[in-house]
Amino acid sequence: MSSTSDAQIISLFHARDQKALSETQQKYGGLCHCIAKNILGSREDAEECLNAALYKLWESIPPAKPKNLAAYLSVTVRNLACNRRAAAKAAKRGGGELDVALSELENVLASPERPDAVLDTMALSDAINRFLGNLESETRVMFVLRYWGDLTIKEIADKCGVGQSKVKMTLLRTRNDLKAFLEEEGLR
């Protein structure tokens, strides 16, 4: 992993030094590749996605000066991957970890007794954000990595430096807590 700081990398972008791209890839490429691969289900597609994201970074910095380069790149990669997936699969579900994550969360976010109910996605997002705000950092991180980043259990365990059982248990309890929270809020 690169020891170059984010500030130094952004300076390279501003100086139009292409080393910025290699440093960014070295530092954050692994995580972003995981995110893209788990959405797209294909290593090759994920690599293309990452390359496209790096190109987008090159185009946008400057003038952009992201406070958190990791997050900036991750969001860019995820958006590209999601768009690519949507274009390829339309409304059908494809393969990959995203399906697994979705299947874990769908009965939490929506009541199985009302499968046809129209979801108020904005209200749910707001509620989830409030719910996340009350969690301990590590728990919140695991939730976000799983359901926003679509990382596998093992990838989350490796990143958080814990065992896979702990990740599974944490996510299980968090899903149960979220379900109860949404019921209290009347959103489920």
Partner 1 sequence: MREQDYMKIMNNLREDYISEAVSWDGTAQKNRRSIKRLSLGVGAIAAAFAVVVGGIGYGVYRERLSANSKTDPENSEIALEQLNLFGGHGEIRGYTLSRGGCFFRDDTNFYCYDAKWAIDGSSPIFPNEKTDLLTDGERLYTQHDNTLYITDSYGKETVFYTPETEMTFEEIWHLGGDNYFVKGVKITDDPGTYETPLPYTNAGFGVAFSALLNSAAKTLTETPEYITSYQISPEKGGLYWYAPEKKSIQFMPADDANNSRTVYSGIENAESWGVDAQTDILYYEVIERRDTEAGSDTAAAIYTLMPDDAENKQDFGIGYRGDYNTALIADPENDYPCYSYFTNQHCYGVMQKQTESGLRLRVMRNNIAMDDGEQVVFDVPMSDLYKGNLPDRMVRPEMVFLDTGDYLIFNLPPTDENSSGLVQVNLETGAWFLRDENASGDQPENSGDPVQQDSDSGLYGEDLASGYCSPQDFPQYYIPPENIDADNIECYRMLPFAKASESALDTAALGAHLPSGGAWSRRDPDAPRLTYDKAFNCITSGSELNAWVIMEELCKLSGGYDAEAYLNDNMLSDREF
165 binds partner 1 (CB under 8 A): yes
178 binds partner 1 (CB under 8 A): no
The nearer residue to partner 1, 13 or 188, going by C-beta atoms, is 188
Q: Smallest distance, Å, CB 184 to partner 1?
A: 18
Q: Which of 15, 64, 172, 180 binds partner 1 (CB under 8 A)?
A: 172
Tally of residues, the chain: 188
Could you tell me if 73 and 53 are in contact, meaning their C-beta atoms sit under 8 angstroms apart? yes
Euclidean distance between CA atoms 22 and 149, whole angstroms: 22
* 3-state SS record for 51-80: HHHHHHHHHHCCCCCCCCHHHHHHHHHHHH
**Of the candidates 55, 49, 76, the residue with the CA atom closest to the CA atom of residue 13:** 55
Q: Smallest distance, Å, CB 178 to partner 1?
A: 12
Residues 6+ apart with CB under 8 A from 145: 151, 155, 156, 159, 160
Q: Which of 44, 59, 137, 186 binds partner 1 (CB under 8 A)?
A: 137
- Contact set with partner 1 (CB under 8 A): 1-3, 28, 31, 67-68, 70-71, 74-75, 79, 82, 86, 89, 91, 93, 98, 102, 105-106, 109-110, 119, 121-122, 124-126, 128-129, 132, 136-138, 140-141, 144-145, 147-149, 158-166, 168-170, 172-173
